Copies of this chain bind each other. A is one copy, B any other.
Amino acid sequence: MTKAAAHARAHDDRALQAAARLFREQGYAGTSLRDIARAAGMLPGSLHYRYASKEDILSALMERAIDRLIESVLAATAASTDPLERVRLAMVEHVRILLSREDSVYVLLYDWRSLSPAAERAIARHRRRYEQFADELLAQAAAHAPLQPGVDLFLVRQFGFGAANWVAQWFDPKGPYTPEQIADSFFRYLTLGTLRSGGG
């Protein structure tokens, strides 16, 4: 990589990272391009040179978040061949990234409405790959460990994602739980339930 290209990419990174943080804190509409430029240490014109519109920034941010998610969860699940354990590893990693300093995943999940219909379709297509990977993990786990009768894997996926994604809303780094403990508990509740068998 040339020196200029490296420099440009570093600026690009800083712009997206600053945008992610601001979008997370103030929302998309609540953040101005000048805010982003200032936080990224550049002038508004430079930002415009890299991204033609504000929505381009959001789209790029979300694509990066999806890539980051897929890559990390893929790597995390490679640590085991047991289908059930792989689901647990995926859940832990998903929560871990969501609660990390990488704000783009939070923006991906919660600033959905700000996209134009066209951009939303593009991101949805991209995100579909992540969901498909999750569905594969679940299907393999279900093939390996028998399910309760009537359990719907689509609902299980939405159930798990919902609980996991919501953690970003209430997690307190100074609280008594680590991201790993939370995801681990959630996995246990989801598989074994919370009641003792025969109760209720």
Binding site for B on A (CB under 8 A): 24-30, 84, 110, 112-114, 145-148, 150-152, 155-156, 158-167, 169-170, 177, 182, 185-186, 188-197, 199-200
Contacts and interface: CB of A to CB of B under 8 A. Distances in A.
B189 A190 contact: yes
A180 to B, nearest CB: 13
- Most chain B CB within 10 A, of A28, A113, A150, A164, is at A113
Contacts of A112: 169
A186 B30 CA distance: 35
A170 B145 CA distance: 27
Nearest to A175: B154
Contacts of A155: 177, 182, 185-186, 189
A191 B197 contact: no
A189 B29 CA distance: 37
A185 B182 CA distance: 22
Contacts of A185: 152, 155, 159
